Amino acid sequence: MNALIVGRVIAGVGGCGVYVGGITFVALLTTDHELPLYLAGIYCVWGIGCVLGPIIGGAFAQSSATWRWGFYINLPIAALFAPAYFLCLPVIRPQPNKPFLERLRSLDWIATIVFLTGATCLSMALSFGGT
């Protein structure tokens, strides 16, 4: 059970990274006039995925293909779109002249620690609240 929980945490963090990374790229690569259109497209696709994901996953689980294909199906899709990601998107360096340590020092560490502490407390309260 612990491995399942850790795996779900890793998957959740990865999903958040993909989502936020996509929104960040769109915000950096579009004009202020184009941004709402592209963000609406991302949000629509994300919403459709949230609705259809369990349906398609349930269909895989009920079929002879087994539930594992709910995860394997991502591999050919990623292989199809990865070359476009690597070849077409430009490299974005927001602060190219600053060294890495200086960029780390410019982060708001107090707010980060306060946020993470609050999120951890909320998560623990929701997890242990029913026991």
Task: Give pLDDT, residue 110.
Answer: 95
Query: What pLDDT score does 33 carry?
Result: 94
Q: What pLDDT does 80 receive?
A: 93
Rounded Cα distance, 124 and 87, in Å: 42
Distance CA 92, CA 3 (A): 36
Global pTM?
Answer: 0.59
pLDDT at 117: 94
The pLDDT tens digits of the residues spanning 71-103 come to 888 899 989 999 988 888 787 777 788 888 888
How far is the CA of 31 from the CAs of 22, 80, 85, 115, in angstroms?
15, 27, 20, 31
Is pLDDT of 1 > 80?
no
Q: What distance in Å separates the CA atoms of residue 71 and residue 86, rounded to the nearest whole number?
A: 23
**Is the CB of residue 70 less than 8 Å from the CB of residue 57?**
yes
Higher pLDDT, 93 or 21: 21
Using alpha carbons, list the distances in angstroms from residue 89 to 27, 81, 97.
13, 12, 21
- In this predicted structure, what is the pLDDT of residue 131? 65
92 or 51: which leads in pLDDT: 51
